[in-house]
Amino acid sequence: MHASYEESAATELTLRLADGEIQVYLDGPRYAPALLLIHGTAASARTWTPMVPLLAESHRVIRIDLLGCGRSAEPADASYTVPDQANRASAALSQLGVERAVVVGHSSGGVVAAAVAEHRPDLVSALALVNTGPRMAAYLGENAAIDPAQWPNLSDEQLRHIASSAFAPGYRIPQPFLDQVRAMNLRVFAATSQAVRDYLDEQALPERLRNLGKPLLAIFGAEDRRWNVASAAEYREVAGGTVELLPDLGHSPNLEDPARTAQVLLEFTRNQATTRR
């Protein structure tokens, strides 16, 4: 299923943080429950765009371009460690006056989301991870070297081949996604990829989250070709953790079937709202 990848009629803000400016996109009623959406590596807030109209009916949807990505700044001397990216996401919520949010992350963005919950549990009411591997041992992808000099000259079909493992077999990757991949900063990509590996090698996510007491939803496309899908079961070790497998979808269900992915996420947020009453 293809949904529109074009930007929604979001309110866009540029937030000044201590080490650079980040771009923020706001949709939905201002005083509705907050959803913070964090994108993965080699991506931007646009990877959530197809889901936004569905989520914004009942939530204040907050998307950010992590530092070094999308339309945010790319300072040469910035740190791209997971805790530093999580601190920036937390600072964005604070600047926006958001006291509590359901924090959602896709792929490596889920690692950043988990770090927000770990380091600023006061900001996080619940956590949802979309195709986020629990530990590096579950990673199936290849770490192919990319020649920066050749990158701008790659054809669309070459980029499709490189990005194909991010989707279920047979999925036709949208052109705007390819444009986004082509535009990525390779230095930031390398630093971010290494930072995620270091964070997961230091301690697996289920172990980090086990004692936080935060409701947890792990959504996994059952045809993921980057992470061992069976490893998603590890999230059930977390108190309050549930796992939802989506048949026929790959590593990016937020793009492959935004309606189905949004339905699962909204059911989770409704359950949390009911539980808190």
What tokens appear for 188 in the block? 């930031």
In contact, 215 and 272? CB cutoff 8 Å: yes
Is there a domain that residue 266 lies in? yes
Is there a domain that residue 2 lies in? no
Is there a domain that residue 183 lies in? yes
> What are 235-257's pLDDT values in tens digits?
999 998 999 999 999 999 999 99
Task: Mention every residue, 6+ apart, whose C-beta is less than 8 A from residue 131.
Answer: 106, 107, 110, 219, 220, 221, 224, 226, 227, 251, 252, 253
How many folded domains does the chain comprise?
A: 1
Strand pairing category for 34-38 and 60-64: parallel
CATH code of the domain in which 272 resides:
3.40.50.1820
Is there a domain that residue 6 lies in? no
> What are 148-191's pLDDT values in tens digits?
778 888 899 999 988 999 999 999 998 888 888 888 888 999 99
pTM of the model: 0.95
Give residue 24's domain range.
11-276
